[in-house]
Amino acid sequence: MKPLQRILHVEDVPSIQVVTRIALQKLGGFEVLSCASGQEALAKVQAFGPDMILMDVSLPEMDGIELLRQLASLIDLQQTPVVLLTGQAQDPADPAELQRLGVRKLLQKPFDPLQLATQLTEIWNAEHE
């Protein structure tokens, strides 16, 4: 099984972006590319070649669901698991559509940065058993 190594992180709040990147790099040993917007993620996703995408649902200009729809035309989201971070109480979209778009898990904000790398590794391992 290929290990989880490269994570594309899409988050527009600078403080959350920094905490997440530090947690994933220092605790998880992952290579992380942080993008502050959907447009930036679309521009960089193919060159980066992520193993997993971790993204906020509420993004400026383009919400997370629309970003996923556009990412699906660039990379195979069935092969690249998506984990959504959300502060919303209810699911951001129809669960069937989320599954079709490659979403494997919804994590609630605030999240525990000390547990994040472990949670993502568990999602990855479950996917590749």
CATH code: domain of residue 51: 3.40.50.2300
Question: Which pLDDT belongs to residue 92?
Answer: 64
The string of pLDDT tens digits covering residues 50-90 is 999 999 988 888 888 899 999 999 999 999 999 998 877 66
Asked if residues 4 and 120 have their Cβ atoms less than 8 Å apart, the reply is yes
In a domain, 35, yes or no: yes
Domain hosting residue 111, numbered range: 6-127
In a domain, 54, yes or no: yes
Q: Which of 30, 47, 93 is nearest to 67 (CA)?
A: 93
Query: What is the number of domains present in the chain?
Result: 1
In a domain, 1, yes or no: no
In a domain, 43, yes or no: yes
Average pLDDT, integer, range 29-56: 97
- Name the pTM for this structure: 0.94
Count of alpha carbons within 13 Å of 7, Cβ hemisphere only? Answer: 28
